[in-house]
């Protein structure tokens, strides 16, 4: 025992240090530091691929560890991402992990390091982080090449709505580089001395060929760029369903959503996988796929549909039993048989599915509505009777079927349109008439409403009208082709019964009877006003007799048109009120209603008249006012031509507005304010029949403005222009009584003078005498010289010149007043110069005949005679020459006289030519003789020409009294 105790003690002493050593070892962390870390770049996805291993695992079993990864950019202190990666690991196992960078990896140097920790529940005490691995540097800029500009990433593929970062490397040290997205400049930030970045947020889908991105590097060079491929987001699969039509093939369908195809990415692919059979099928179509039912009587199916593209995957699942997804094929051999006016029989067949029965649904449609619907169970052949249809009506009959053992879906419809046969019309026409009296008879217009389709039972082809004279046995018939709905008849003043029927291909309708009395018995019935509403016109009346078989209300839908659109409504004998409605009723239009009572003899007599508006409006125009009876205190307004029937409402009266400068309104007017005018005076006329009004108590000689407008129950008429009126002065009418007769008298005298102007001219101012009509000529002709005539002015040779001097002071004394012209105008007697040769004794002139026109020479008339004053003997012969013609003489005289006018002062001189009477040779009236004979006597004529009087600066002298001498032939002697 002692030995055993000693050995036991010795064993314990040996084990005690060993246990202490083991505890020390287990308390220290295991060396799980990752080893052999390698980092590579995948430029396509811009990913860093990490690879490492853990060699010194303490156990050979799998352990759960956590690896922490740290990534820096540009420098190790600039950590851009830290994350944990959890996995199971065995001794000497190589681990892989990938990280996708937002910034293209080519644009910056990246650093990676990792560490790990035990995360196994078997060793809870071993949880402590290992040391960090050394930094692994990744830099690819040195391998880019020798170009001066690079833009990354290249041809990147992203989904719509993603955020993308671009960067460029410029080795030319240029800072003026601009980048553009589809032509729109983007904001650029500098990342490193030769690296810049720009960020695009939520990039949109532009086109399948991608989005253009480029940068302008150097002016004059082509821009550098890349393409960003933006794919539409792969949508979730919708409406995934599978069904069979023959228990042999499954048809699966779905909604694929948007197509994600791009230039570098095909459309999404679809794969169908069945879990029970572990079969898989790649579908060739985007929205459907077929699956062959297995021959091992598989009933349950579990399908997984997967859609996939380069960026995303979508899946959807479906589990079903095969017999619960049976949809029969469309029925076939559909026919309609035994069609008549009301019935038809339909037949069809279905495709068999084993020994199953089918449930079929039958429908009958008319005008787009279902009028009949029934269900029929059948095996293979179906039959159904359609009944209670209308004649001559279009219908659609159709049928569809479903699997009878378990309903899943109906098959497609199969149907056919058909028309039932016609039948004779069922109902009589609704007939009315319009009767107008004409000399010797009536003009009757018949109207009828077309039968409804239900009552017509077919197409109405014509209308039959039979007119029977009730007073004289006679009858005639008319046929009116459809679709006419009226006809005109001219009847004598007898009673007639008219029967109207409608006919189609199968028969004739019952007759409508109407009677026209020979005596219309028109009564003067007062028209009653009614008020319409939005619901129509509510009319009521009192029966006139107790044997009425009905009532008729008549109106026009368009009363303002020549074809008024006559309408009527027939009512029963016990009805004394109704509401008339029409879609044609318009506000502001007056509608007239006539209510007739129909007797047992089918005679309609007028019972009441009513008129009204569905909605009254304000008057459309104002009356044209005429002014009359204007006095100093009043005037009268009149608008008798104003029609109230054509207004859009019942005229209730008129408003008369008066404007003046007075503050107070005249009696009968009240102060009011119009919308577009200052204060006015207003007078209201309540009687619409009153169309004259006298404005009284006005001020004389004052201005007023007046305006008349009607009003209805709704409002007044439109604003108009005021008419200006000025009242006359109180004494104006007295002046008119005086001045008006004077004006009439003067007018009368003027008219009389106008018609007596010739008489007044002869009495007051006769015409200038005509020498050719002078009595002197007849006197000379009587002296046996028939060749004498009055010479023209140019043919006259003057033989004496009379010079008349008129003092200036005599101008103030008019002729014929005071002294005579001889006494006042001349200081010496007038001198006549004889220019024609005379007898041997020129001092003894023979007897002379002297005449002149005193109208032209008043001064000469005052002389009273035609005295001759000889020329002074000392006149030199050189001053007397021979004039070759009368024209030269006149020119000489006018020239010398004009020169002398300047020498005559303070006086006027009148030069008169005294002409002899010449005797032209026979046959040559216009020519002068070369050697004219000396007249036996002196015949003188003062020429009818007055030389204008001139003024001079000095009075005339004796030497200048004869200022001009006409020269004749020097061989002749004158005195």
pLDDT score at 463:
96
Beta-carbon contacts of residue 431 (< 8 Å; ≥ 6 apart): 446, 447, 448, 498, 500, 512, 514
pLDDT score at 522:
63
Whose CA is closest to 674, among 659, 654, 693? Answer: 659
pLDDT at 839 over 70: no
Average confidence (pLDDT) over 864-883: 42
pLDDT score at 796:
60
Beta-carbon contacts of residue 768 (< 8 Å; ≥ 6 apart): 853, 855
Instruction: Give, as one character, the DSSP assignment of residue 716.
Output: B
Instruction: Give, as one character, the DSSP assignment of residue 326.
Output: B
Enter the tokens of residue 372: 């009949």
Are both 146-231 and 332-420 of the same fold? yes
Enter the tokens of residue 128: 């402590």
Confidence of residue 191 (pLDDT cuts 50, 70, 90): confident
Cα–Cα distance between 603 and 301 in angstroms, integer? Answer: 84
Residue with more model confidence, 386 or 802: 386
Instruction: Give, as one character, the DSSP assignment of residue 437.
Output: E
Highest mean pLDDT among 166-180, 667-681, 688-702, 781-795: 688-702
Beta-carbon contacts of residue 808 (< 8 Å; ≥ 6 apart): 906, 907, 908, 951
3 state SS for 348-372? EECCCCCCCCEEEEEEEEECCEEEE
- Do 651 and 712 touch, CB atoms closer than 8 A? yes
Highest mean pLDDT among 21-30, 94-103, 835-844, 962-971: 94-103
pLDDT score at 433:
93
pLDDT score at 425:
93
Architecture category of domain 431-613 in CATH? Sandwich (2.60)
pLDDT at 785 over 60: no
pLDDT at 593 over 80: yes
pLDDT score at 8:
55
Q: End-to-end alpha-carbon separation of the chain, Å? A: 228
3 state SS for 512-525? EEEEECCCCCCCCC
Residue with more model confidence, 946 or 497: 497
- Do 536 and 582 touch, CB atoms closer than 8 A? yes
Confidence of residue 774 (pLDDT cuts 50, 70, 90): low
Tens digit of pLDDT for each residue in 396-428?
Answer: 999 999 998 899 999 999 999 999 999 999 999
pLDDT score at 741:
87
CATH class name, domain 238-324: mainly beta
Tens digit of pLDDT for each residue in 344-359?
Answer: 999 999 998 878 899 9
pLDDT at 970 over 70: no
pLDDT score at 792:
58
pLDDT at 758 over 70: yes
pLDDT score at 619:
92
Cα–Cα distance between 699 and 662 in angstroms, integer? Answer: 10
Average confidence (pLDDT) over 834-845: 44
Confidence of residue 437 (pLDDT cuts 50, 70, 90): confident
Cα–Cα distance between 540 and 530 in angstroms, integer? Answer: 10
pLDDT score at 221:
73
Write the CA distances from 304 to 81, 272, 285, 314, 322, integer angstroms: 38, 6, 16, 10, 16
pLDDT above 90 covers what percent of the chain? 43
Residue with more model confidence, 953 or 803: 803
pLDDT score at 6:
41
pLDDT score at 80:
92
pLDDT at 692 over 70: yes
pLDDT score at 55:
73
Around 842, how many Cα atoms within 13 Å sit in the side-chain half-sphere? 16
pLDDT score at 3:
46
pLDDT at 854 over 50: no
- Provide the 3-class DSSP secondary structure of residue 790: coil
pLDDT at 843 over 70: no
Q: How far is CA 744 from the centre of its chain?
A: 61
Cα–Cα distance between 652 and 715 in angstroms, integer? Answer: 10
* Average pLDDT, rounded, for the chain: 78
Confidence of residue 35 (pLDDT cuts 50, 70, 90): confident
Domain residue extents for the chain: 34-142, 146-231, 238-324, 332-420, 431-613, 625-731
Instruction: Give, as one character, the DSSP assignment of residue 309.
Output: -
- Do 200 and 184 touch, CB atoms closer than 8 A? no
- Provide the 3-class DSSP secondary structure of residue 962: coil
Weakest mean pLDDT among 275-279, 505-509, 955-959: 955-959
Average confidence (pLDDT) over 232-247: 92
Tens digit of pLDDT for each residue in 532-591?
Answer: 988 899 999 998 887 899 999 999 999 988 888 899 999 999 999 999 999 999 999 999
Average confidence (pLDDT) over 934-963: 40
**Omega into 483 within 30° of 0, i.e. cis?**
yes
Q: For the domain 625-731, what is the CATH code?
A: 2.60.40.10
Enter the tokens of residue 605: 């007599």
> Tokens 């001020």 sit at which residue?
699
Beta-carbon contacts of residue 706 (< 8 Å; ≥ 6 apart): 625, 637, 656, 657, 658, 659, 695, 722, 723, 725
CATH fold for domain 332-420:
Immunoglobulin-like (2.60.40)
Whose CA is closest to 336, among 402, 424, 414, 422? Answer: 414
Strand order in the sheet with 670-673: 670-673, 679-685, 653-659, 703-711, 723-726
The dihedrals phi and psi of 739, each to the nearest 5 degrees, come to -70, -35
Enter the tokens of residue 232: 């539409």
Average confidence (pLDDT) over 825-840: 42
Beta-carbon contacts of residue 654 (< 8 Å; ≥ 6 apart): 623, 684, 685, 688, 690, 693, 708, 709, 710, 711
pLDDT at 120 over 60: yes
pLDDT at 868 over 50: no
pLDDT at 828 over 50: no
Cα–Cα distance between 695 and 662 in angstroms, integer? Answer: 15
Confidence of residue 144 (pLDDT cuts 50, 70, 90): confident
- Provide the 3-class DSSP secondary structure of residue 158: strand
Confidence of residue 662 (pLDDT cuts 50, 70, 90): confident
Write the CA distances from 620 to 480, 562, 591, 643, 656, integer angstroms: 43, 21, 17, 11, 17
Average confidence (pLDDT) over 242-249: 91
The pTM (predicted TM-score) of the whole model is 0.49
Number of H helices, E strands in the chain: 8, 58
pLDDT score at 27:
43
Average confidence (pLDDT) over 329-354: 92
Four-way CATH pick for 146-231: 3.40.50.300, 2.60.40.10, 2.60.40.420, 3.30.70.260: 2.60.40.10
Enter the tokens of residue 102: 């937002």
Cα–Cα distance between 911 and 893 in angstroms, integer? Answer: 9
Four-way CATH pick for 34-142: 2.60.120.260, 2.30.30.140, 3.30.420.40, 2.60.40.10: 2.60.40.10
Weakest mean pLDDT among 92-106, 210-224, 393-407, 889-903: 889-903
Residue with more model confidence, 823 or 891: 891
Cα–Cα distance between 42 and 46 in angstroms, integer? Answer: 6
Beta-carbon contacts of residue 167 (< 8 Å; ≥ 6 apart): 103, 104, 106, 107, 108, 151, 152, 191, 195, 196, 197, 198
Confidence of residue 825 (pLDDT cuts 50, 70, 90): very low
């Amino acid at each position: 025992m002692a030995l055993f105790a000693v050995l036991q003690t010795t064993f314990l002493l040996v084990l005690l240090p060993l246990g202490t050593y083991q505890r020390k070892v287990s308390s220290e962390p295991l060396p799980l530091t990752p080893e052999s870390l390698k980092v590579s770049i995948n430029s396509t996805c811009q990913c860093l691929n990490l690879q490492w291993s853990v060699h010194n695992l303490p156990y050979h079993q799998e352990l759960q560890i956590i690896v922490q990864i740290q990534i820096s950019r540009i420098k190790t202190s600039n950590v851009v991402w830290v994350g944990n990666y959890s996995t199971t690991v065995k001794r000497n196992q190589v681990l892989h992990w990938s990280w996708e960078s937002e910034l293209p990896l080519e644009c910056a140097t990246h650093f990676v390091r990792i560490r790990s920790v035990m995360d196994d529940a078997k060793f809870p005490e071993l949880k402590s982080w290992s040391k960090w691995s050394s930094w692994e540097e990744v830099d690819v800029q040195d391998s880019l090449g020798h170009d001066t500009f690079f833009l990354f990433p290249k041809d990147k593929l992203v989904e719509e709505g993603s955020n993308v970062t671009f960067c460029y490397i410029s080795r030319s040290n240029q800072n003026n580089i601009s980048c553009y997205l589809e032509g729109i400049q983007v904001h650029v930030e500098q990342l490193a001395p030769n690296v810049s970045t720009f960020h695009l947020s939520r990039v949109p889908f532009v086109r399948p060929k991608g989005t253009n991105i480029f940068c302008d590097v150097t002016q004059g060079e082509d821009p550098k760029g890349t393409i960003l491929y933006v794919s539409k987001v792969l949508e979730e699969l919708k409406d995934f369903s599978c069904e069979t039509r023959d228990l042999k093939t499954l048809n699966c369908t779905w909604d694929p959503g948007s197509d994600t195809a791009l230039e570098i990415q095909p459309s999404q692919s679809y794969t169908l996988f069945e879990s029970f059979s572990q079969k898989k099928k790649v579908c060739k179509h985007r929205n459907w796929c077929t699956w062959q039912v297995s021959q091992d009587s598989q009933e349950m199916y579990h399908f997984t549909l997967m859609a996939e593209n380069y960026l995303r995957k979508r899946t959807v699942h479906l589990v079903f039993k095969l017999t619960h997804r049976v949809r029969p094929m469309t029925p076939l051999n559909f026919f309609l048989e035994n069609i008549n006016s009301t019935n038809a029989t339909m037949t069809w067949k279905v495709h068999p599915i084993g020994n199953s029965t089918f449930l079929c649904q039958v429908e009958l449609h008319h005008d787009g509505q279902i009028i009949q619907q029934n269900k029929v169970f059948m095996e293979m052949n179906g039959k159904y009777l359609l009944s209670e249809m209308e004649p001559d009506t279009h219908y659609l009959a159709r049928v569809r079927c479903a699997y009878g053992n378990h309903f899943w879906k109906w098959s497609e419809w199969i149907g056919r349109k058909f028309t039932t046969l016609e039948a004779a019309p069922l109902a009589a026409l609704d007939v009315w008439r319009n009767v107008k009296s004409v000399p010797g008879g009536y003009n009757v217009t018949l109207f009828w409403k077309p039968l409804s389709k239900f009552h017509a039972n077919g197409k109405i082809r014509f209308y039959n009208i039979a007119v029977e004279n009730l007073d004289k046995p006679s009858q005639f018939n008319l046929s009116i082709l459809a679709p006419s709905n009226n006809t005109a008849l001219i009847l004598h003043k007898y009673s007639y019964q008219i029967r109207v029927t409608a006919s189609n291909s199968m028969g004739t309708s019952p007759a409508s009877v109407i009677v026209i009395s020979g005596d219309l018995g028109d009564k003067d019935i007062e028209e009653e006003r009614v008020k319409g509403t939005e619901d129509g016109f509510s009319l009521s009346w009192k029966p006139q007799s107790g044997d009425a078989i009905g009532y008729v209300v008549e109106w026009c839908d368009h009363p303002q048109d020549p074809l008024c659109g006559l309408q009527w409504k027939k009512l029963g004998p016990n009805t004394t009120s109704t509401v008339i409605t029409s879609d044609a009723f318009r506000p502001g239009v007056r509608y007239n209603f006539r209510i007739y009572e129909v007797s047992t003899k089918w005679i309609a007599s007028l019972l009441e008249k009513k008129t009204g508006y569905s909605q009254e409006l304000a008057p459309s125009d104002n009356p044209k006012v005429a002014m009359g009876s204007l006095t100093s205190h009043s005037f009268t307004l009149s608008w008798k031509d104003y029609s109230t029937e054509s207004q859009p409402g019942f005229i209730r009266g008129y408003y008369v507005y008066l404007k003046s400068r007075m503050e107070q309104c005249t009696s009968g007017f009240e102060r009011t304010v119009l919308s577009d005018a200052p204060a006015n005076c207003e007078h209201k006329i309540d009687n619409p029949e009153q169309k004259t009004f006298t404005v009284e108590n006005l001020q004389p000689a004052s201005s007023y403005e007046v305006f008349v407008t009607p009003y209805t129950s709704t409002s007044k008429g439109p604003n108009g222009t005021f008419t200006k009126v000025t009242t006359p002065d109180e004494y104006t009418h007295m002046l008119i009584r005086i001045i008006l007769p004077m004006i009439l008298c003067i007018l009368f005298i003027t008219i009389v003078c106008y018609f007596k102007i010739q008489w007044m001219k002869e009495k007051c101012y006769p015409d200038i005498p005509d020498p050719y009509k002078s009595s002197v000529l007849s006197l000379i002709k009587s002296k046996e010289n028939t060749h004498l005539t009055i010479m023209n002015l140019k043919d006259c040779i003057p033989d004496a010149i009379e010079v008349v001097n008129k003092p200036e002071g005599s101008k103030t004394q008019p002729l014929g007043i005071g002294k005579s012209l001889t006494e006042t105008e001349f200081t010496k007697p007038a001198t006549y110069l004889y220019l024609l040769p005379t007898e041997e004794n020129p001092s003894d002139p023979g007897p002379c005949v002297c005449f002149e026109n005193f109208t032209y020479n008043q001064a000469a008339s005052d002389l009273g005679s035609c005295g001759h004053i000889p020329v002074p003997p000392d006149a030199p012969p050189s001053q007397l020459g021979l004039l070759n013609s009368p024209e030269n003489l006149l020119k000489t005289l006018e020239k010398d006289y004009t020169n002398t006018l300047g020498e005559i002062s303070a006086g006027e001189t009148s030069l008169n030519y005294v002409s002899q009477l010449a005797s032209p040779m026979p046959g040559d009236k216009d020519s002068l003789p070369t050697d004219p004979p000396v007249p036996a006597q002196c015949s003188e004529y003062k020429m009818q020409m007055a030389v204008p009087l001139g003024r001079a600066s000095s009075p005339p002298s004796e030497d200048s009294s004869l200022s001009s001498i006409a020269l004749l032939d020097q061989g002749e002697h004158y005195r």
